[in-house]
Structure 1
C-alpha cells in the first residue's frame, strides 16, 4: 500500500500578493509555514460566520488577535487554536469542509475499496478500471497483483494454498481472454484481493469522521485501518494543528 499526497488546500497567489502589500508580518509567517494555509482558510471560514469583516479581509484584520495571542482556554497554542477547538467541540464542522486533500492510493485490495466507498459524504473517488485496464499475463500489467492478509501470510500452508489459488485465477483469466472473452467480462473471475489504484479527495470534516470509524482499535479490518492511519499521518504532516482532532476522533 502506498499513500501519497497529490494536493491540498493552498492560499492563492493573488491573495498572498495582496496580503504582502498590507501586512508583511502575516505574509512572512504564512510563506514560512509558521501559519499554515489550512489554518488561514479555517480561520477565514470560522470567523466569516461571526465577523462583520469581509472574508477576504479576515486574515488581514484579525490575524493579530488570533495567531499572535496565546490561547485563553489554558489548553496551549494560540487563540486560533482555541477557536478551532471550540468549533470542533461545538460540532460546527461545516467550517472545516473548506480544507481538502487529494491522495494517490496505490496497491489496495478491491475488498478495501468496497469498504472505503461506503464513505460518500465529503469523498470523491476515481478508481482504476478492471474493464479498461487489462490484467492478462501478456498485457502491460503483467497480470493482476493481489493483497495477502496477515493471517494468511503468517501461516505457511495457508500462504501456499492462497498463492496456488491466485495462480489458478490468473490462468483462468488468461484462458478466457484467449477464448475471445473481452476484459470487461473476464474480470468477473478476479478476486477481492486483486489490487487497484485510486485518487481520493476528501475534506477535513469527512476525514475526521472517517478516522473515528475506521481507525485501529475500532473494529475495522486491518487493511482499511492501516489506510486510515496513513491518511491521518499524511494530513498531519502538512497541517500539524489537526493532530489533536484526529487523536480525539
Structure 2
C-alpha cells in the first residue's frame, strides 16, 4: 500500500494578500498567524467558524482576528493557542460542518478490492478507481497480470501461503485463458479475486477523514488493511497540518 497526499485546500492569492494590515505605528504586518504551526487550512477553519459568530465579513476575519486567535495562549488551559481552544470547542460541540470546507486529495495505490468495497461505504468520499474493465490484467498485457494483497495471517503461515499462492496463479491462468478464448475484458474480470489490487484517487473533507479514522483506526474492530489505510491518511494529513494532530489518536501505529 502506498498513500500520498497530492492536493489540499489552498487560499486564493487575493485572499491571502488581504491578511496584510497596519499596526498602530503604520507598519505592515504580513503574517497574522504562525505559519510554522498553522497554515492555509487553519485560516479556512478560523474563517468558517468565526463567520457563524462574528459580525465581521468572512474576508475580514483572519486579517482582523488572526493575530488574536493564532497569537494568544489558549484560555481553556489545555495548551496551544486560542485558535486551538476554538477548534477544540467547535469539535466537542458537534459543529464540525465548519470543517467540511477543508479538503484533501490522496493517491492510494496497491490496495485490495476487498478494501475498496469497505471504503465506498463512506458516503462523503469521492473516488476515481482503476477500472478492471478498461485495464487488461492478462499476463501478456502491459499490467503483466494482476497484483494481489496477501493478509498477514496467510503470509506468516507457510502452508496457507502455499495454498493462497497456488490459487492466485490459477486465477491468473483462468483469466488469461478466457481472454485468449475471446471473452471481453469486462467479463473475464469476473474471475479476479477480492485480493486483486487497484489504484485510486480519493478526495474528502476534514470532517469525513476524522470520522473515517475514528471508525477505521487500529484497535477499533476494523480489518487490518483498512486500519492501515486510516493510519496512512492520518499521517499524511498531520504531516502538512500539524495543528490537527490532537484530533487523531497519535498513539496508534501502522499495522
Point out where structure 2 has 5 or more consecutive residues left out of the alignment.
251-255
Distance of 1:228 and 1:25 partners within structure 2 = 39
Whether 1:41 and 2:41 are equivalent positions in the alignment is: no
Task: Give the whole-Å Cα distance in 2 for the aligned partners of 1:233 and 1:131.
Answer: 32
Does the 8 A contact of 2:74 with 2:81 survive in 1?
A: yes
* Aligned-pair CA distance for 1:29: 4.8
- TM score, norm. by length of structure 2: 0.93
Matches within 5 A, 1:69-218: 69-121=72-124, 123-218=125-220
Task: Give 4+ residue runs of structure 1 displaced > 2 Å after superposition.
Answer: 17-30, 32-35
CA contact (8 A) 1:26 1:63 kept: no
> How far off is 1:25 after superposition?
3.4
Asked if structure 1 preserves the Cα contact closer than 8 Å seen for 2:33 and 2:70, the reply is no
**Quick one: distance in 2 between partners of 1:247 and 1:234?**
14
TM-score by length of 1: 0.95
Moved more, 238-247 or 9-18: 9-18
Aligned to 1:25: 29
Residue by residue over 1:158-179, the C-alpha shift from the partner in whole angstroms, topping out at 9 and shown as x without a partner, is 1111111111000000000000
Deviation per residue, 1:28-56 (Å, 9 max, x gap): 756x4443111111000000000111101
Secondary structure at the counterpart of residue 146 of structure 1: coil
RMSD: 1.5
Distance, in Å, in 2 between the alignment partners of 1:27 and 1:56 is 15
Match of 1:11 in 2: 11
Shift of 1:64: 2.0
CA distance in 2, matches of 1:158, 1:234: 34
Count of matched residue pairs:
246
CA deviation vs aligned residue, 1:49-107 (integer Å, no higher than 9, x gap):
00111101100011122111111000011111100000001000000001100000000
Q: Identify, as 1 or 2, the structure richer in helix.
A: 1
- 1:143 & 1:78 partners in 2: Cα distance? 53
Q: Using the alignment, how far apart are the partners of 1:22 and 1:147 within structure 2? A: 58
CA distance in 2, matches of 1:22, 1:176: 72
Aligned partners of 2:187, 2:195: CA distance in 1, in Å?
A: 18
> Who is 2:68 aligned against?
65
Could you list the runs of 5+ residues in structure 1 that have no partner in the other structure?
none
